[in-house]
Structure 1
Amino acid sequence: MTIARILNAKGSQVVSVNPVDDAVSVARTLAQHRIGAVLVRDPAGQVLGIVSERDIVRALASQGGTSSALQAQQLMTRLLYTITPTTPIGEALALMTDRRVRHLPVLEDGGGLAGMISIGDLVKARIAEAEQEAQELREFVTSTV
């Protein structure tokens, strides 16, 4: 199974913030959409980085009360690990595990944003895949008896 299949079921909508949005605004966006990370995009839509709940907590721990004035461009992680719609789910899971990230932007071959997936999306897909395989095995066993 590939990432494209997950995006077909989940959709390709990606929540993003502006580079100048402050930390409180970013946190509100995360809470409003009940998500753990948002992409930071410039007015032209180019992806500049990603801000996760973890980034906000780190800023709060290091800067204290002044962290609320930090902008998304100051909070964001600039080094993005990305995948494509043709990436196998196992490969995406391995990348998340190796790089210790929970969200991966999905980029088309031309570099355009196709969506974003979370570790939860991948786990859900793997469980569905395992359940389908188990059902097929049950059907095979009962049909040969």
Structure 2
Amino acid sequence: MTERTVFQSMSHKHVLSLGPTASVWEAACVMTRASCGSVLIMEPPEKLLGIVTERDLMTRVLAKALNPEKTQVSAVMTHNPQCVSPETAVSDAVVIMIERGFRHLPIVGPGGKILGVFSVRDALPREIGAAMSVTEFNETVNDALG
């Protein structure tokens, strides 16, 4: 059986985005309405500037007592997020997320077109298990090599 790609496994096939001057409150509302854990921060027509996630809202806004109605998403977003192509295998994407400590990967197609965001929730347990095995193997090799 061929492994699924990130594009095949995405639960949200639309791009959820806001401009850099939108407020954090607007981002939270957009994400809540769409039942989505992230929003891409873009400048027209298709320039990806960053990403704001649920975790960003908690750690960069709430924990710092910032006013969500007055704080712009550009102040709390992750700038220039790592992206993957639509052909990336799910297990490869999960390895990237585990090793880098994040849960969302924008998917960029030919010509730099943003196709959506792959979430760790889109991965099946067997793919997460396979990625964990690869990560554990990498750690073992790194430890052995010093």
TMscore range, shorter length: 0.7 to 0.9
3-state SS of paired residue (1:39): strand
* Alignment match of 2:9 (pick from 2, 6, 16): 6
**C-alpha distance in 1 between matches for 2:54 and 2:104:** 11
Gaps in structure 2 of 5+ consecutive residues: 129-146
Whether contact under 8 Å (1:107, 1:114) holds in the other structure is: yes
The CA deviation at 1:3 is 2.1
Corresponding residue number in structure 2 for 1:48: 49
Gaps in structure 1 of 5+ consecutive residues: 128-145
The CA deviation at 1:124 is 6.4
Corresponding residue number in structure 1 for 2:62: 60
Return the letter of the residue paired with 2:63: A
Query: 1:22–1:4: structure 2 CA closer, same or farther, 3 Å change rule?
Result: closer
Query: Larger RCO: Structure 1 or Structure 2 (Cα < 8 Å, ≥ 6 residues apart)?
Result: 2
Corresponding residue number in structure 1 for 2:73: 72
Matches within 5 A, 1:1-145: 1=3, 2-7=5-10, 10=11, 12-58=13-59, 59-62=61-64, 64-123=65-124, 126=127
State the Cα deviation string for residues 39-59 of structure 1 (Å, max 9, x = none). 001122211100011111122
What RMSD in Å do the two structures reach over aligned CA positions? Answer: 2.0
3-state SS of paired residue (1:110): helix
Whether contact under 8 Å (1:49, 1:79) holds in the other structure is: yes
Structure ID, larger Rg: 1
Identity of aligned residues (%): 29
Whichever structure has more helix as a proportion of its residues is 1
Runs of 4+ in 1 over 3 A off after TM superposition: 124-127
What TM-score do the two structures reach when normalised by structure 2? 0.75
Query: 1:5–1:53: structure 2 CA closer, same or farther, 3 Å change rule?
Result: closer
